[in-house]
Amino acid sequence: MKFTPTTTKYETAFEEDVAKGLTNFPKYLLSKYIYDEKGDKLFQQIMNMPEYYLTNCELGILKKHTASIADSFNSEKGFDLIELGAGDGKKTKVLLKHLVAKNYDFNYLPVDISQHVLDELEEALKTEIPGVKIKTQQGTYFKTLEKLADYNSRKKVIMVLGSNIGNLLHEKAIDFLKNICQAMSEEDMLFMGFDQKKSPQQILDAYNDPHGITEAFNKNLLVRMNSELDADFNTDDFKHWETYNPESGTASSYLVSKKEQQVKINKLGLNIHFDAWETIHTEISQKYDDHIVQWLAKEAGLKVTEEFSDSENCYKNYIFRRKDF
């Protein structure tokens, strides 16, 4: 017999994850919750700051290698281009323009957790690149990938830009890649961006900007708990702190309590105590090299078949296929 609980303690995954993370030692919050409407806007601003080199590096790669990337995507019967985490499409538009100009037969299927982001993207494409056949999909990566396995009438190209995989610890990244691999058939491809190891200072500067935008982005977790969970965090009582470990390639973001304090999260009935200088870990942004990428691919059942980079190897976009074919 199946046991079905009559009461659940939490109404949403956000509530459950906050309760778990802030009663843990050391405290943590999950970075995916930064992205509500305010968080999306702050991330757009991050992508426009000169310190956040990732966006321009990847844009440069896509511009420099447009023709060969598009060539790799194409197949006799055309293809379906599925983008996970579509965002504002600034970088994707470079590829889409070329694909339309070359008259390639393809559908563009952007997937994003935010319907708002998808609506704006669809609207923008209608006027900017009217030739694109677009079909938006709202949902989480994992749920959508299950559905996508049925997309089997012709070649699938799955695209993940922005080094979004960097928010996952290696173990989780492998799970994510395995999931994608399972949705792929023989001729399908994965096209993915990975930020590369580089000068530690350049990485720190990207996540510790003097404009305070990254700080506001990180603190949006506190703001969101205040508004959605009736909490009373004072954002000024926490300091945004970034570290980068050049050995592991992991950049980590923290919010550090500047003083001993108690914070109420009324909706969860929690009273959270912070010692002075106690931390909340909020995000990792993993940096890679070819060895790590090849190892992740192998563990997930994939192999690297092509790669594109800028002249300084600041950032790389790799093409993967299933290794069992």
Query: Are the C-beta atoms of 237 and 261 separated by less than 8 Å?
Result: yes
Question: What is the distance between the alpha carbons of residues 274 and 80, in angstroms, rounded to a whole number?
Answer: 50
CB nearer to ligand AVJ: pick between 125 and 192:
192
Smallest distance from ligand AVJ to CB 5, Å: 34
Cβ within 8 Å of residue 253, ≥6 positions away: 31, 207, 214, 218, 240, 241, 242, 281, 282, 283, 284, 285
CB nearer to ligand AVJ: pick between 78 and 139:
139
Query: Are the C-beta atoms of 319 and 191 separated by less than 8 Å?
Result: yes
Smallest distance from ligand AVJ to CB 158, Å: 17
State residue 318 phi and psi, 5-degree precision.
Answer: -110, 150
Query: Are the C-beta atoms of 83 and 108 separated by less than 8 Å?
Result: yes
| Residues binding ligand AVJ (CB under 6 A) | 46, 54, 162-164, 166-167, 207, 214, 217, 283, 285
Query: Are the C-beta atoms of 88 and 118 separated by less than 8 Å?
Result: no
CB nearer to ligand AVJ: pick between 27 and 287:
287
Cβ neighbour number for residue 73 with a 10 Å cutoff:
20
Q: Which residue's CB comes closest to ligand AVJ?
A: 285
CB nearer to ligand AVJ: pick between 33 and 106:
33
Smallest distance from ligand AVJ to CB 105, Å: 31
Smallest distance from ligand AVJ to CB 167, Å: 4
Smallest distance from ligand AVJ to CB 28, Å: 15
Smallest distance from ligand AVJ to CB 303, Å: 24
Least Cα distance to 58 among 192, 156, 186, 176 occurs for 192
Q: Which residue type occupies 32? A: K
CB nearer to ligand AVJ: pick between 270 and 284:
284
CB nearer to ligand AVJ: pick between 137 and 167:
167
